[in-house]
A and B are shown apart, each in its own frame.
Chain A
């Protein structure tokens, strides 16, 4: 039963691969071994992992720019190595990290380039192509920017335009390499929510390489975690968080992911003071001691709201302060 349902899932996947060895040929370098994955339509999947672990190599294997050393990647059940560039372009569109230097190009022209695999030799757009460009501009909410030059766009707008270009390619699979790098907080969320919306609305399979765990937890249906020389770990982000598997993103023992907030933070030092008070306040006091392990630690700390105040208890006295900065200043004067 379990096996049967597994087979069904493989048939439904947009991209799948089993037991790939990834690396470079000349000189022969093995980067990742035994990589297997399934990318499903209608799902937003985030590929995460430390730098140098082989994420880019995995992308290049899927795009057939650097075929795997061993194994095959299947796009819509077809081996990518037998597809022509053009056939592949109709099934798979990408947003790369490359900088676009053509500042005189308008958003409309950029998005129209997405029709390249569908147009004739001259690249002239048919009414159907033009309709698709318009539809995609509407879908990504950048119709008002259509005649703006790329040089005049903000980083977030430019990234959205690049996503629109990829959408205009009308492929069932979309792969984005770090689309939210260099973006501010709001734009990071906007872009990822847009991608999630697109995955759901048009049942595309979307794979995003990102280092942004916070946004990935918020938006992804699946996480793929790559670790040096280990098989790819795939799962529902919440499961991976609860199981503690997420910790694999942070090799070494300096950092940890707080299972409560999903945020990365310094590992708790051996000793933390005992802090009493509402948790939305006490967590920030704890944060101070994590950041400043050398700080003198009182026996007990009590924090209260309205009015905000902190009481520091020492074996023989009590000190009251009204801000965290004041608390730090005071503790710095104490002998350690």
Chain B
């Protein structure tokens, strides 16, 4: 084990815990950190309203942020290594657009097909299934394309095209949908970490664990892929299996996050770069945990900002992550020897 890197990881973990507490304390009602720490130690809150605010709203929301922060960077990191392209990520390959199309079909095609979903609060599940199906459909199409075109640049372009095609279908659906449905979809597409209650969180965690498993089992293969596909095969890596494990893993991770929280922008592509930059390594045994921890950090910060501490309203999470992600990407690209570091 590399000592300084391990310390950096531990420091990130400590920061995550600190930010998690800060995240819980901030919001329209400020709850002192001291009270939160005492509550953790078993001493009840001074006010009952705090208990409800924390247990029913802030805790599930912050845990959702944690899950998103783990899932999307790991999904993006797999894509970037697999396609050997620094600009790859869940968005670029159209998975999010596919999930969006699933939800759009569910929420906006109601008028055309005569169903009414996303209307009540209990219909998260329908949205979740629709988004997952959409994401898996795009990924299977990508897999087929991957089977046909061997070189990864063409595959990325195919992915972009799938994304554009899905977006155009969404536009069509939006054009013919009722105003109320359209607003619902638009708000869905802005991302929301606060949608999930405890039961949703439970399912999301299970799905993410299932999605993380293939990635963890492929750490060695991803390290071998750093030298390119041909080297990886020459070192005994089963490339076909890696391809399908990557499709399964990123499909589950991105698909379920998009289903539960909407398309969360930029995290999936920017955080893996942040991890490479801060830890100065390409070794996936470090990069996977580093990207996950940094993702949690970033999302907790973004969520704390979006809660607009001290004010009654909050900002859509995508507005905050993109405001954070775009300058980061620009900064990364302006850095000299960025391509060397990748």
Interface residues of A (CB under 8 A from B): 63, 65, 84-90, 92-94, 96, 98, 100-105, 109-110, 113-114, 116-117, 119, 121-124, 151, 169
> B230, A88: Cβ atoms under 8 Å?
no
Q: Once bound together, how far apart are the Cα atoms of A86 and B241, in whole Å?
A: 13
**Quick check: is B116 within 8 A (CB to CB) of the other chain?**
no
> B235, A104: Cβ atoms under 8 Å?
no
Instruction: Report the minimum CB–CB distance from B279 to chain A (whole Å).
Output: 9
**Quick check: is B236 within 8 A (CB to CB) of the other chain?**
yes
Q: Which of these, A63, A90, A113, contacts B224 with CB under 8 Å?
A: A113
Contacts of B167 in A (CB 8 A): none
Instruction: Report the minimum CB–CB distance from A221 to chain B (whole Å).
Output: 24
**Quick check: is B177 within 8 A (CB to CB) of the other chain?**
no
Q: Once bound together, how far apart are the Cα atoms of A165 and B223, in whole Å?
A: 13
> A85, B237: Cβ atoms under 8 Å?
yes
Interface residues of B (CB under 8 A from A): 84, 217, 219-220, 223-224, 226-228, 230-231, 233-239, 276, 280-283, 285, 337, 339-342
**Taking A100-B227, A101-B84, A113-B227 as contacts, is the C-beta distance between A119 and B234 under 8 angstroms?**
no
Q: Once bound together, how far apart are the Cα atoms of A297 and B217, in whole Å?
A: 75
Contacts of A84 in B (CB 8 A): 236
Q: Beyond the given A113-B224, A123-B219, A123-B223, could you list 20 further A-B residue pairs with CB under 8 A, ordered by the A residue number? A: A65-B233, A85-B236, A87-B236, A89-B234, A89-B235, A96-B228, A100-B227, A100-B228, A101-B84, A102-B226, A102-B342, A103-B340, A104-B280, A104-B341, A105-B281, A105-B283, A116-B235, A117-B235, A124-B285, A169-B235
* Residue in chain B with minimal CB distance to A149: B280
**Taking A63-B234, A101-B84 as contacts, is the C-beta distance between A151 and B224 under 8 angstroms?**
no
Contacts of B217 in A (CB 8 A): 121
> A123, B220: Cβ atoms under 8 Å?
yes
Instruction: Report the minimum CB–CB distance from A123 to chain B (whole Å).
Output: 3
Shortest 7 CB-CB distances between A and B: which pairs? A89-B236, A123-B220, A86-B236, A103-B340, A117-B236, A116-B235, A102-B282
* Residue in chain A with minimal CB distance to B220: A123
Contacts of A100 in B (CB 8 A): 226-228
Contacts of B280 in A (CB 8 A): 104
Contacts of A113 in B (CB 8 A): 223-224, 226-227, 235
> A151, B340: Cβ atoms under 8 Å?
yes
Q: Once bound together, how far apart are the Cα atoms of A113 and B158, in whole Å?
A: 31
> B227, A98: Cβ atoms under 8 Å?
yes
Instruction: Report the minimum CB–CB distance from A84 to chain B (whole Å).
Output: 8
Instruction: Report the minimum CB–CB distance from B271 to chain A (whole Å).
Output: 16
Contacts of A103 in B (CB 8 A): 337, 340-342
Q: Once bound together, how far apart are the Cα atoms of A96 and B234, in whole Å?
A: 10
